[in-house]
Structure 1
């Protein structure tokens, strides 16, 4: 595989890790009463823009997310690591493509937000794009898809297949191998839990979908915060996101590519 493609992939992993880690850090701060809440991926982008040299930070992150989107598209279409063309392999590659679409949107939004900062202040009215009588079915479909993804993450962690990407036997430092292994497990399981929670909220929101009650990650955090045990649950979820962000940084540094 071309070294430039590998560098693009590593940049993408680092940027994705930054988004997840900052999301977790901001949510954890809100859980323990430090600072205002800025949960969710879009909340991270707004937080960055509010910092000194915020537009520069936002631009760097946006370009990194575009790198990750490119890598996912490349995996899906070119299949550089020979995933295969059997049914399960095609499903995996289609998943890469949709993941690329998500991070392409985030990357474009990051860069667009630099030049149009006021655009992030309005709520999305995307639900009006779909006839209200079909929204509940769309929400159920999203919820089921997320639930399947959460289960897939758990199975992936249980089997430990993701560790093959690191070629651990080639690493001489035993502490590095242990860090990659346990941080990887923590990240995979934590992300599965977060996805499962968001799936649950989509199931709940399906009944009121026609009213535009869309539940995403930021709404999930808001719900957790409003419950009596909210700070504990929210803190747990936030730590999970931080773990997954750290796992992405490990991917950026130690992942090996099968040419």
Structure 2
């Protein structure tokens, strides 16, 4: 066997490993873990809307909420490990291509790689919190302000923060628009669903995705303001971004709507755990 044939055989073996049941199970577990986090964030945001204060409505608040429940420590480890599975699945997509006819496109691989890094970070923060490192459950607002302050201190920091913030805002708009256009259909085994299941997926997918995109877009706008004003305190994490919706003319009802949307995205993530093409 020549070197070219060996390389092709090695690639096929790696591809089979990426398509293995273990990687598939990791992806589905990761979607379920994401669902738990978003469902809790939505519930915490709802508490803020109705009570005027409440606990922090972000990933850190969700982790703290889980840790206070019976067997919460064990559940944190399970969620963290499940998110590792999600990161590995996204990494396999970056390396070998995603499911579907256009899964081998270079841009999709780059996006999958970025998602792998993101979920690896989230998994690390959850596992760190489970191990007793409380910074893993820290405020997203402080983290955003600290990162923004460090970036602003770099040469050309305002431009770095501004471009990154604009990217987040645009990504939020794209996320929301793709949800409204139901682009997620191509990633799901729609034919395996009952009519009622398809309705459930469309309600939670459209509503949840739009709410998630709105939060990302708003956070990006706040970060742009931080860059323009050269003030890291203008940057907001998920908690402060959600609270800002209650300060709009719509009052707390807009926050209620977004909170329900985030909880719906959690339910949509559970649907992905069952019907996603992986």
TM-score, length-normalised on structure 1? 0.85
User: Number of residues paired by the alignment?
Assistant: 253
Give the drift of 1:22. Answer: 0.9
Residue 83 of structure 1 is matched in structure 2 by 102
Residue 233 of structure 1 is matched in structure 2 by 254
Q: Secondary structure at the match of 1:175?
A: helix
User: Bigger CA drift: 239-248 or 29-38?
Assistant: 29-38
Residue 130 of structure 1 is matched in structure 2 by 151
Q: Provide structure 2 residue ranges, at least 5 long, that are not aligned to the other structure.
A: 1-18
Give the drift of 1:71. Answer: 1.4
Residue 105 of structure 1 is matched in structure 2 by 121
Distance across 1 between alignment mates of 2:217 and 2:246: 17
1:5 partnered with 2:23: yes
1:161 partnered with 2:183: yes
Check the 8 A contact 2:48/2:243 in 1, yes or no. no
Matches within 5 A, 1:112-123: 112-119=128-135, 120=137, 123=142
**Closer/same/farther in 2, CA of residues 46 and 2 from structure 1, 3 Å limit:** same
Q: Provide structure 1 residue ranges, at least 5 long, that are not aligned to the other structure.
A: none
**Closer/same/farther in 2, CA of residues 170 and 52 from structure 1, 3 Å limit:** closer
1:93 partnered with 2:78: no
Residue 50 of structure 1 is matched in structure 2 by 68
Q: Secondary structure at the match of 1:116?
A: coil
Check the 8 A contact 2:177/2:210 in 1, yes or no. no
1:174 partnered with 2:190: no
Matches within 5 A, 1:17-96: 17-33=35-51, 36-81=54-99, 83-85=102-104, 89-96=105-112
**Closer/same/farther in 2, CA of residues 234 and 161 from structure 1, 3 Å limit:** closer
Distance across 2 between alignment mates of 1:39 and 1:256: 30
Residue 196 of structure 1 is matched in structure 2 by 217
Check the 8 A contact 1:136/1:210 in 2, yes or no. no
